[in-house]
Amino acid sequence: MTTKLSIEEVEYSLRERIRRRMYRPGDKLPTEIALTAEFGVSRATIRTVLTRLANEGLIVRRQGAGTYVNQRVGEVNTLGGLLDYGRLIAESGYQPTIQPISLIQRTATIEEAAHLNLAPGDPVWVLVRLFLADERPFILASNLIPKSLFGDDDGFYDGRLPLHHFLQQYCRQTIAYAIYEISPVQANDEKTIQLLACEPGQQLLQFSTTFYNADDKPIVWGYSTYDDSVVRLRFMQSWV
């Protein structure tokens, strides 16, 4: 028996086609009827997915003419409402590299547990990575993931994978949305200064981010320190 795809699975598939340029900026998407037949879901599901993508500015729906990938989609740094660091770097004209720094297991602090709906002392994996643009250090990212999401396997985890792929491969989790808090910080600790190759006291940006799945459960919490002198952020917001 064939399992019916969820709205989130159809949405993820269409996002990936846009991200991988199977549907390029300006391209016309298949009709609702064609997408319904391809994915084996209801037309209401397809309409819900297209509405979500349109609300984020990824696609443009033209009355009587069809649905198109937004011509400007390659000029912004988000995908599905999420910051995609690798794409941010690539779309800015640089070669992205993810360099794993460490992956350790420890217990969650009170603050970390509150962000992840855990009890203080519950085990978490802490994934620390450095993102580079043409080998120039750009973002230092630390992500905390509840150990319970990994099951009983404490084997090898590839820290070079983008976060959404990492979660799908090792935790069987899909990011549905994220909440960001952005604040200015100064480079005042040795690790940040060394890894980002910045000056002591240099002004940086910090993103504190909680990632949720479709059940509104927090699956990752972390913070990224960002040197915006390397690549500038640009966002798109739809008003339709």
Greater model confidence, 13 or 84: 13
The arithmetic mean of pLDDT across residues 14-18, rounded, is 87
Helices (H) and strands (E) in the chain, counts: 7, 10
Q: What is the CATH number of domain 7-75?
A: 1.10.10.10
pLDDT in tens, 146-192: 999 997 666 789 999 988 889 988 999 988 778 888 899 999 999 99
> From the CB of residue 178, how many other CB atoms can be counted at a distance below 10 Å?
17
- Parse the chain into domains and list their residue ranges: 7-75, 78-226
Residues in the chain: 240
Best-predicted range by mean pLDDT (29-38, 62-71, 76-85, 177-186):
29-38
Beta strands in 59-121 (DSSP E): 59-62, 66-69, 78-79, 82-83, 96-107
Rounded to the nearest 5°, which phi and psi values hold at 105? -105, 135
pLDDT in tens, 52-74: 888 777 888 888 888 998 876 65
Distance in angstroms between the alpha carbons of the first and the last residue of the chain = 39
Given this model, what pLDDT does residue 104 score?
94
The Cα 90–Cα 72 span in angstroms is 15
Given this model, what pLDDT does residue 6 score?
85
Whether the full predicted model's pTM is greater than 0.85, yes or no, is: no
- Multiple choice CATH, 78-226, 3.40.1410.10, 3.30.450.40, 3.40.50.720, 3.40.50.360: 3.40.1410.10
